[in-house]
Amino acid sequence: MGDSDSDMDYYGSQISNLIEQLGSLPGIGSKTAQRLAFHIISMPPERVEALAASLTQARRNVRYCKECGTLTDQELCPICSDLKRDHRTIMVVESSRDLAAYEKTGHYNGVYHVLQGVISPQLGIGPSDIRLKELMQRLQGDVDEVIIATGSSLEGETTAMYISRLVKPTGIRVTRIASGVPVGGDLEYIDEVTLLRALDGRVEL
């Protein structure tokens, strides 16, 4: 038996709808969607209700931190509101997932700036479409160093050079994480040792 849409007719419309909703999520194929759907149906009702509530509450309450732009459920994320962090060092990353990858190393004590993307002329994403204006506003405060930790894809490198040109005239130190991060590789999939080496071996731009 294949995985065509007609196969789902056997299950009835409610199960079919659940499989369809799960299958629309990134990285979830039809077989995984069916497995998840049957698992959810076999769970105790209170656990399913808790799962559904966590989805709706997260969607309703999660927002972007007004300082760094990462996803959080507060006005300021826990990192930006932590007075023990070094707020004079800002690491610029592409996404909240990249921030999480560096946080997992436990060796970075500065704060972050999440661009929520990279410059990509092919996709029509220019400098004004990512959070560069907000970065420059933050640099009017007391900042010693900007660490550019965008990936080493062509778009990541283009964005790094653009940021470097923006920041250098301010006199603030600009560094770039060392190579060793695979080309086109998402930071979230890279091991912590490689990330640490990239951070410790960062170079002046």
Using the predicted structure, report yes or no on whether residue 12 has a pLDDT greater than 60.
Answer: yes
pLDDT given at position 202? 74
Per-residue pLDDT of 177-194, as tens digits, reads 865 454 444 555 566 666
Contact 42, 18 (CB under 8 A): no
Cβ neighbours of residue 153 under 8 Å, at least 6 residues apart?
118, 183, 184
Amino acid identity at 100: A
Task: Tokens 């196969």: give the residue.
Answer: 7
pLDDT given at position 1? 42
Per-residue pLDDT of 13-39, as tens digits, reads 899 999 999 999 999 999 999 999 999
Residue burial 126-159, b: 16+ Cβ < 10 Å; e: rest: eeeebbbebbeebbeeebebbbbbbbbbebbbbb
Using the predicted structure, report yes or no on whether residue 99 has a pLDDT greater than 70.
Answer: yes
Per-residue pLDDT of 39-71, as tens digits, reads 999 999 999 999 999 999 999 988 999 999 999
Residue 120's beta-bridge partner residues?
125
Query: Cα dihedral sign for 105, 111, 116, 120?
Result: negative
pLDDT confidence tier of residue 123, bands split at 50, 70 and 90: confident
| Percent of the chain residues topping a pLDDT of 90 | 62
* Domains of the chain and any CATH numbers: 5-61 (1.10.8.420), 71-204 (3.40.1360.10)
Contact 57, 82 (CB under 8 A): no
**Residue 29 phi, psi (nearest 5):** -85, 175
Lowest mean per-residue pLDDT among 17-31, 75-89, 125-139, 191-205: 191-205
- Quote the tokens at residue 176: 């770039």
pLDDT given at position 180? 46
Contact 124, 163 (CB under 8 A): no
Cβ neighbours of residue 43 under 8 Å, at least 6 residues apart?
51
Lowest mean per-residue pLDDT among 108-122, 171-185, 186-200: 186-200
Contact 64, 72 (CB under 8 A): yes
